Structure 1
Amino acid sequence: MCKINDNLKEQQVMEWYELYYKDIYRFIFFMLGDRQYCEDLVHDTFLRAYTSFVNFEERANIKTWLFSIAKHLVVDEIRRRKRRRIFSLFSEGHDIASSINIEQYIEHRDTVERSLKAIQQLKPDYRLVITLKKIEGCSTKEIAEILGWSESKIRKTLSRGLAALRRKDIAEGGGHYEQTF
């Protein structure tokens, strides 16, 4: 019977993988900007979902739960990098997996690259909320569930994060992030 449960569990996690791989990958990529760790953290997200399968409670939807797992892995990686003083930069020549269509991406590549670099220079909380809201399109309620914060805190953090981006934009000559966000 345990073997059947393992097979069902594996099948369910593989379905989630098929459905949410791109979303989780994009989220982690925008948070870290580092392809080397991105694939590993996506894999770790689904591995943790598999090992924690019995702990999944139907209170949240599966996408929210997976983003929560990914968020914890990303925050741990940011802490490790901070301790080691490693700062990743976006390297030119790589495509960005995102929901932006290819024509927009090619047309606005410089803006996307500047936005990615700017987001990665924000405080981790701002980075989390902006990435989940503006890039992944999560609702305020979903973000609150993922981060374990109140919706009010999500709105305030988003507002402050976007203000920090605007201040950075003004300092760099202006006009870049208003188009993106």
Structure 2
Amino acid sequence: MFTPALHSSPCPHDESITSWALAARGGDLDAVEKFVRALHRDVSRYVTYLGADPQAADDLTQDTFLRALGSLHRFEGRSSARSWLLAIARRAVIDNLRYSSARPRLSDRDNWQSAAERAQPRGLPGFDDGIALAELLAALPDDRREAFVLTQMLGLSYEEAARAGGCPVGTVRSRVARARSSLIESLYEAEGHRPLAAAAA
């Protein structure tokens, strides 16, 4: 079972991650460990913000790495290993949503949501801000939330986000711009203010 690294430092450069993926493809177990540790947090955040059940995020992260390690022999380094892996994560989430929609739910939304919230650590710096951001992101349409998370939270370039999301670069740019506008508007509404443009009208 893969375990997340303790991320106190920034994620390594994409070139290093890609070189680890290529070395892992050749059977280098140390490179496998480095590859998984470097991207575990990004994959976990990505599958969580794609709208998956928070209780399933760990399983989806695990599934993503199992799929990736099983298909490493096909990875040739033409794109960054990060964008390749996030494309796999996206497919894992889609497959999970399709599977979940075909089976009956054992609990309602309120129950699992409150259980997930109770399981989160409290009293950490930025905890409340993180909850607020998650709520604002959850209100966005799925495609805009995905583009925003990939580029603004995980740090992918627009080109990499387009590859991971399977859409043109211009579409990613448009979705990010619309997501930003919606988030700013939501923040103003939450604080009881109107955006400057609206106030001037």
Q: Same fold, TM exceeding 0.5?
A: yes
Q: Relative to 1, partners in 2 of residues 1:44 and 1:174: Cα closer, same or farther, differing over 3 Å? A: farther
Deviation at 1:110, TM superposition (A): 2.3
Aligned pair partner of 1:51 in 70, 79, 82: 70
| Further displaced range: 80-89 or 30-39 | 80-89
* SS of residue in 1 equivalent to 2:77: coil
Letter in 2 for 1:173: E
Partner residue, 1:91 = 117
Mapped partners of 1:58, 1:166: distance in 2:
37
Deviation at 1:136, TM superposition (A): 0.9
Structure 1 residue runs of 5 or longer lacking an equivalent are 97-101, 176-181
Give the 3 Å change call, closer, same or farther, for CA 144–60 of structure 1 in structure 2.
Answer: same
The alpha-carbon deviation at position 26 of structure 1 amounts to 2.3
Structure 1 residue 93: Cα displacement: 5.8
Q: What amino acid is aligned across from residue 111 of structure 1 in structure 2?
A: D
RMSD: 3.2
C-alpha change, 1:22 and 1:6, in structure 2 (3 Å) is: closer
1:139 aligns with 2:165: no
Structure 2: how far apart are the matches of 1:166 and 1:6?
43
* TM superposition shift of 1:162: 1.8
Residues 49 and 113 of structure 1, relative CA distance in 2, 3 Å threshold: same
Q: TM-score, normalised by structure 1?
A: 0.72
CA 1:168–1:78 in 2, change beyond 3 Å: closer, same or farther? farther
* 1:1-60: CA deviation from partner (whole Å, max 9, x where unpaired): xxxx99817665443212211221222233347542111011101111122222223211
Any stretches of 5+ residues in structure 2 without a counterpart?
Answer: 1-23, 194-201
Structure index of larger Rg: 2
- Normalised by the size of structure 2, how large is the TM-score? 0.66
* Aligned-partner residue type, residue 94 of structure 1: Q
Partners in 2 of 1:9 and 1:81 — Cα distance?
36
Please tell me whether the aligned partners of residues 44 and 61 of structure 2 are also in contact (alpha carbons under 8 angstroms).
yes
Q: Which stretch of structure 1 is more off in the superposition, 161-170 or 56-65?
A: 161-170
